[in-house]
Structure 1
Amino acid sequence: ELNFAQNHSETGVYPSEEPGPCNLDLDPLETITQTYIHSIICAFGLIGNLLVIVTYIFYKRTKTMTDVFLFNVALADLLFVVALPLIIYNEQHSWAMGSVSCKILQGVYSINLYSGMLLLACISGDRYVAIVLARRFFGAHSNTLIYSRLVCSVVWMFAVALSLPTVIFTERFEEENLGVQIVTCQLCINHNETVKVMKVLVPTLQVAIGFLLPLLVMVFCYSKIICTLLRAQSSQRHKAVRVVLAVVVVFIICHLPYNTTLLTHTLVLFKERGCEAERMRLKVLAVTRSIAYLHCCLNPILYAFIGVRFRSHFRQILQDLWCLGKKYISGRSSRGTSDLSISGQKATNGFNISQPHSSFSA
């Protein structure tokens, strides 16, 4: 959800139960709570997605279409968790980094949203082909890496194209509220009809392409995969079914509340509504948005660390880091010991033992 949803100067009149303008700002406690939650999301998202990227670059190598998709999902999530602290800082400090950062950061979020969700749909489609259509397409994917990289390129270009309205029309916007100058980063267009279209079009595209389309693809593909696994005579089928169900359930839990709230907010955007109801709607929007952000931390666990081979590579990373740490510490200690012995020899050579009381002479 982009911050232009809070631009109440162009989205209808709020009949307030209180005298004076309607104050839609979050209270300090909610702001602090959101900051802590987003900081935790950034930390875990950074660690998890960096591990996925390091594993694919130095240990596992990309061999299948799913590997390429997972690598790009980790890149998209890493892009988001790096930008999130800057977004939080600017929101709390009146976009002190200026109009350019406003455009770039909101554009980065939008690109991550579309690319990440569409890549998850691509992963479900690839698994559908590999499991459900295994016999029909057996031996037909000799150029899987080329196809997967082409698909990823198309996804990233599509995400950039869908994010262009956000980058072009988002501006650092200043307005007066209760005698206080408020600075936000939101859609700011001179033509009133254009801004109305954009304020409806951007959230609608986000819900339709960033949530509903991937959800439909995932439900279709994974339902077929579950049916195929249940028919298979394999001791691992129940575990595989649980993993598939976990992927779909976590996706729905993280994104359904937020997208439902965003869609509701968009539908009433130009209608007259009460100040208190609008405050509550924005609070729910902020809470559900934080829940949606959690998905970038869960993606490495759901799509990568569940795999046995990936876990073995992860353990290898930890072992290598442990060995490097031990070598560094032993190297420091050995250098310290040698420096101590050298300095001791210098002190001994500089001290005249033939005159033991010379240093205490008055």
Structure 2
Amino acid sequence: MLMTPGPTAVPAPVRDAMSRELINPDVDPEFHRIYDRLTDRLATVYGVDTDGPAGESTRDVVVPGGEGILGLEAAIASLVEPGTEVLCLSNGLYGDGFADFVADYGGEATLVSTDYDDSLPLAELESVLDDHSFDVATMVHCETPTGTLNDLEPALDLLAEADGEILTVVDAVSSLGGVRVPTERIDVCLGASQKCFSAPPGLTTAAISDRAWAAMEEREPHSLYTNFLPWRDTDEGFPYTHLTTEVVALDAALGLWLDEGLDAVRERHRAAAARCRERGAELGLAPYSDPERSSPTVTAFAVPGRAQELQTRLREEHDVLLATGLAYLADDILRIGHMGHNARVERVDEVMDALEDVL
């Protein structure tokens, strides 16, 4: 049983869709129809309007070919040039990583960070905003390595109050689809196929505001592949041959998601997370981050010095695959991905029964 926080288990209807005859994305009009339907479905998930009058909630949704990390790099590559001032707000590995991308593309990164088990450092953010001006700000909604769901609203409020021109970039890869994301307040909101949508890895998703597009058009492009701008208008073709099977798979996965309904999907994630933590408490396990800030999509249990041993025993003795922590927490965190197709109480119970056996 695959219960990692991405890639997640792919349900049978999605696998069936992938097995159909291959479509040529460069010459077959049917592929364009599928891609357009996919972006419409994603707009519903993001909660944005792609066709209405210009306004705060209007966003274009694009789906480039490339695993989710492509979106993080492409957002920086598309908005940052030498001298661009970027504020990177962080309480985790991926939040820190934005600063590395900024440096790679010649920008000036100011990392406002805290310990990985803390909430976003809002006091430090306010202080930095008082002293500096920024062009772009980055942050992470769900820090997957620690299972932390960040409340972005206070940070977005501070950024708006300080300078309404700051472009916001948010990694919502591990939350989009399982929990509400305030996309209407974000200029570039990033997702991916292999998390809460339960499609295979291979696609980045992004909801992009008009002002973010305008900023991209003002910058000299660094590359084709790590560049969102060529995806703004695909009526005449895609920037490169698209990943046909992955697009068909994500479209099928989103069809299942929308048939179930937004509220039902989110409730299923909430219930699975609650059950996971309830069972964990019975075993003497606590989430690494504060339970009030733990994500509905992933639980990261603190198991100091035992994560890799437990992961191995679960795989070998119970055929259950979980993830450990990353970086310096590699052996101290065991992560259960109750997201997408796996966000079901019965699946959580099966995992926790196995975990109880190996503890």
Quickly name the TM-score band, shorter chain normalised.
Answer: under 0.3
- More helix, by proportion: 1
Q: Max radius of gyration: which structure?
A: 1
